[in-house]
Homo-oligomer: A and B are copies of this chain.
């Protein structure tokens, strides 16, 4: 059972935004007193109304909650869209019992269509009457985030920090071939620790680099991507520097667990690729190389076909645009060495293909020299199901 941080209330309901009324499409998460919130948002220049609003309101020590809808992203909706996102916050605030300015908002779903405000307003009321503090209410809220996700995405940890029991628990949504596409990523991670918003923001900006940003390639973000970090502060006193470092380590674990659920649930994905590059001149160089491999459709399709096609991987390393000595490339796939000193290594192709078939996670380990730089990123493979899904998911 997932640990629920103290001081939060949750609700998740169906407001009829999605055609399928059996699917939840609105959520509310709030605190009894003001909480501290930090936010990191999409790098896309085309930004949805809720992102514009949240950016104005975070970081802040005076937030009470966040209202969420799925099924409609409120993106590319102009001034009306922004007015709607403000009205959605006000509707949430009425249920929480606070000012509209104390509420944040997240939306995900189709773009270019105005929010169905009657449903949103009625949905907010229903959220107010459905509120709870237990795991049932928490899971209902998690379900309200989902769009094409195959399953709910939650992760949590309970740890003792400075003699106090602290809980860090998160919700995420995001499917699609994250990183090379526009599938929206949303996450709210909550804690009952007492940390001010500025400190939260600094921690969040570091943690996202090794977690959510490792399944989302730099700059390739959707119109709505949002990651909120909320601290209710109901447990004990403020954390000191050492305790904050401990907190950050646990937060990183939670975020990485959530992050890795995203490619695992990629539309039509049959494998998750873990691409681990070391020996580069710098971490940035390693990341560029890892991204070139992760974004190669030929690599993604050969993994889908359980084909240990070292040539496609090595070629992607070669075109990554990073100056390395190609003779130093060493490639392992699922622990099997495939390429070294510019030539393929003899291996049992049929056995390795069988191993790929029965393994959900495919590790691709690349050494590209003797430098100190390394990076690890995750992505999905590319299957016919992905194409069918994305050719048919209409605007």
Contacts and interface: CB of A to CB of B under 8 A. Distances in A.
A118 interface: no
Given A305-B391, A390-B302, A111 B311 contact: yes
Given A321-B219, A391-B304, A342 B312 contact: no
Given A182-B315, A307-B394, 19 more contacts: A45-B319, A46-B326, A46-B329, A47-B318, A78-B341, A112-B310, A180-B295, A180-B297, A181-B296, A181-B312, A219-B319, A223-B315, A223-B318, A298-B390, A305-B394, A308-B395, A309-B395, A310-B395, A384-B388
Interface string A139-167: 00000000000000000000000000000
Task: State the number of copies, please.
Answer: 2
Contacts of A208: none
A316 B78 contact: no
Interface residues of A, number: 66
Contacts of A71: none
Nearest to A329: B46
B312 A45 contact: no
A41 interface: no
Contact of A297 (B110, B177, B343, B388): B177
Among the interface residues A219, A304, A314, which one has the most CB atoms of the partner chain B within 10 A?
A: A314
9 contacts: A45-B326, A111-B311, A112-B310, A177-B297, A181-B296, A183-B298, A223-B318, A301-B391, A304-B387
Nearest to A301: B390
A278 interface: no
Contacts of A394: 305, 307, 309
A315 B46 contact: yes
Interface in A17-61: 43-47
A221 interface: yes
B344 A298 contact: no
Contact of A387 (B75, B319, B342, B382): B382
Given A180-B296, A182-B312, A326-B45, A343 B301 contact: no
A194 to B, nearest CB: 36
Interface in A73-109: 75-78
Given A46-B314, A46-B326, A387-B301, A344 B223 contact: no
Contacts of A307: 391-392, 394-395
A45 to B, nearest CB: 4
Given A43-B319, A296-B181, A77 B343 contact: yes
A324 interface: yes
Nearest to A78: B343
Nearest to A183: B298
B176 A298 contact: yes
B387 A315 contact: no
Interface in A169-197: 176-177, 180-183
A365 interface: no
Given A180-B297, A298-B181, A319 B76 contact: no
